[in-house]
Amino acid sequence: DAGVIQSPRHEVTEMGQEVTLRCKPISGHNSLFWYRQTMMRGLELLIYFNNNVPIDDSGMPEDRFSAKMPNASFSTLKIQPSEPRDSAVYFCASTLGAHMDEQFFGPGTRLTVL
Amino acid sequence: SQQGEEDPQALSIQEGENATMNCSYKTSINNLQWYRQNSGRGLVHLILIRSNEREKHSGRLRVTLDTSKKSSSLLITASRAADTASYFCATYNQGGKLIFGQGTELSVKP
């Protein structure tokens, strides 16, 4: 099993640009989570999907952030326009069954907004 | 607010020694999970202990759970340099979100 796949692994962009992060969950998993990790705030849940439907997006910081899951094997997290304070590592995770099970994390995307 | 809080924030030991990390949480739980994160990598699930369990083992890992004190501990026996990482406890809050603590940074010196 390839595990959770994220792309790109690193992204450097300039303030104001649109950023799109991509995630492919483990095949068969039906819950998908987007997290952001920073030194100051630790690991924060941004949004999670169950069966491709957004369940809770209360962690999404602002309207500049949006996430989609058009099918069971793909999700995107978009930031438009990006700001320097968005610089962080963004992780995607998925779970097999009930969302209270263990989560399998991707390698993360390190985003730097200049 | 944090659902789980780890203690200590940082721990430095010699190879072969045992490492103990503690976690406290605030609300009732269904289960408590421990994750490891190597520098620059994603989190890796280590072990899950359910609320009706008091102790669980997995290889060199031993996890205890005391629901009366709302606390858990992770013991790594006979530590190795490869155990150097950050360790996080996590619990689901009532809204169904997995909330992570700030983590314990473990350094095992060869």
Beta bridge partners of A91: A35
| Amino acid A8: pLDDT | 97
Distance from CA of A3 to the nearest CA of B (A): 11
Distance from CA of B42 to the nearest CA of A (A): 4
Residue % of chain A over a pLDDT of 70: 96
Residue % of chain A over a pLDDT of 90: 82
- Of the listed ranges B2-6, B73-77, B104-108, the least confidently predicted one is B2-6
User: How remote is the C-alpha of B108 from its chain's centroid?
Assistant: 16
Asked whether residue B96 carries a pLDDT value surpassing 80, the answer given is no
- Which SS3 state, helix, strand or coil, does residue A62 take? coil
**Tokens linked to A36:** 């952001």
Residues of B in contact with A4 (CB under 8 A): 42
Least CB–CB distance from A107: residue in B31, B42, B97: B42
- Per DSSP, the residues of B8-66 read -SEEEEETTS-EEEEEEESS--SEEEEEEE-TTS-EEEEEEEETT-SEEEETTEEEEEE
| Amino acid A101: pLDDT | 83
CA-to-CA separations, A79 to A25, A46, A99, A113, B12, in angstroms, rounded:
20, 12, 26, 11, 38
Asked if the peptide bond before residue B8 counts as cis, ω within 30 degrees of 0, the response is yes
Mean of pLDDT values over A33-55: 92
Asked whether residue B72 carries a pLDDT value surpassing 50, the answer given is yes
| Predicted confidence (pLDDT) per residue in A45-67, tens digit | 999 999 999 988 989 988 999 99
Angle at B43 between CA A15 and CA B79, to 5 degrees: 135
Asked whether residue A38 carries a pLDDT value surpassing 90, the answer given is yes
| Predicted confidence (pLDDT) per residue in B9-66, tens digit | 999 999 999 999 999 998 888 899 999 999 989 999 999 999 999 999 999 999 999 9
Contact partners, residue A111, CB within 8 Å, separation at least 6: A11, A13, A19, A21, A79, A82, A86, A87, A88, A89, A90
Please judge whether A102 and B103 are an interchain contact, meaning their C-beta atoms are less than 8 angstroms apart: no
Residues of B in contact with A58 (CB under 8 A): 95
Alpha-carbon distance of A36 to A77, in angstroms, equals: 11
Looking at residue A63, what DSSP letter applies?
A: T
Split at pLDDT 50, 70, 90, the class of B1 is: very low
CA-to-CA separations, A99 to A33, A79, B91, B93, B103, in angstroms, rounded:
10, 26, 12, 12, 22
Alpha-carbon distance of B104 to B4, in angstroms, equals: 12
| Amino acid B58: pLDDT | 95
> At residue A85, what are phi and psi to the nearest 5 degrees?
-70, -5
